[in-house]
Amino acid sequence: MRAEKGSPDGALRLNQYIARSGAASRRHAEEFIRQGRVQVNGSTVSELATLVVPGKDVVKLDGTRLKLPEHSSCFVLYKPKEVVSTLDDPQGRPCLKAYLPPGARGLVPVGRLDYHSEGLVLLTNDGDLTFRLLHPRFKVQKVYNVKVKGTPDAASLDRLKRGIVLEGRRTLPVEIKKIPSRETRHTWLEVRMSEGRKNQLREMFFRIDHPVIKLKRVAMGPLLLGALKPGQWRELERKEIEALRDAAGLGRENGGEKS
């Protein structure tokens, strides 16, 4: 363990180590360090610039030792409608745990789809990747197919594209285009966005009087839902994980390391 001056081979910043262990995002890791909840080699650490060497230094959070996974595990799941996007639910509703691959451990969902929405959910043990994919600063786009009531006019869609105020904050600009459909009473749209507030799309279309009827996430960065059916999953190939890390800006960190 040392403060950051010269970086020993393989050393990671402490918050990065915690994130890669899957225990928390980098931001939350920093909060844990400030709160005095992290120990390195038996000593409580408060310096955010502290470096640790995996396999040599012992890092603990609240007394529990953290270890880096041997490799990043990522699975894509087609979340069915009326399933909660968490691993457990106090209300006893169906949740993602019922759909996890047999024997999978340490996986957490990257963001959420609301109870009535369906489509792509990424599960991974890589906390660093999770943080980057969700934070709008890194501009990783999520793509949704949305069926809305009626036919929004161009002015209404332009309003959403520019951003509207929800709960006191303006939404980031989004891309919207119509999807050809045989529907005559309602409209299918493709929406691309890098932000993901709770129920954001439903709130946006409600504000222009065209409420969402169906909502399906079909892509996250370079990752596509593809031919999966509701409840099905598959493990990502190494090249797909590397593409996600590149999209999140992680492929350029640590000399291009993609661990």
* Alpha-carbon torsion (37, 43, 46, 47), positive or negative: negative
pLDDT at residue 1 in the model:
54
pLDDT at residue 106 in the model:
74
3-state helix, strand, coil in the chain (%, to 5): 20, 25, 50
Determine contact, residues 38/18, Cβ cutoff 8 Å: yes
Distances from the Cα of 76 to the Cαs of 44, 107, 241, 251, in angstroms? 37, 11, 11, 20
Walk me through the domains of the chain, giving residue ranges and CATH numbers: 12-66 (3.10.290.10), 74-136+222-247 (3.30.70.580), 141-220 (3.30.70.1560)
* Active-site amino acid positions: 114
Distances from the Cα of 208 to the Cαs of 156, 160, 236, in angstroms? 6, 8, 38
Cα angle 166, 168, 170 (rounded to 5 degrees) comes to 60
Determine contact, residues 110/133, Cβ cutoff 8 Å: yes
pLDDT at residue 4 in the model:
46
Using DSSP bridges, classify how beta strands 12-13 and 51-52 pair: parallel, antiparallel or unpaired: antiparallel
Per-residue tens of pLDDT for the chain, all 259 residues = 554 444 555 688 898 888 778 787 777 889 999 999 999 999 999 998 899 988 889 999 999 999 887 677 899 999 999 999 988 888 999 999 899 877 777 788 998 899 999 999 999 988 778 888 988 889 999 999 999 999 999 999 999 999 999 999 999 999 999 999 998 999 999 999 999 899 999 999 999 999 999 999 999 999 999 999 999 999 999 999 999 999 998 864 443 343 3
* pTM of this structure: 0.77
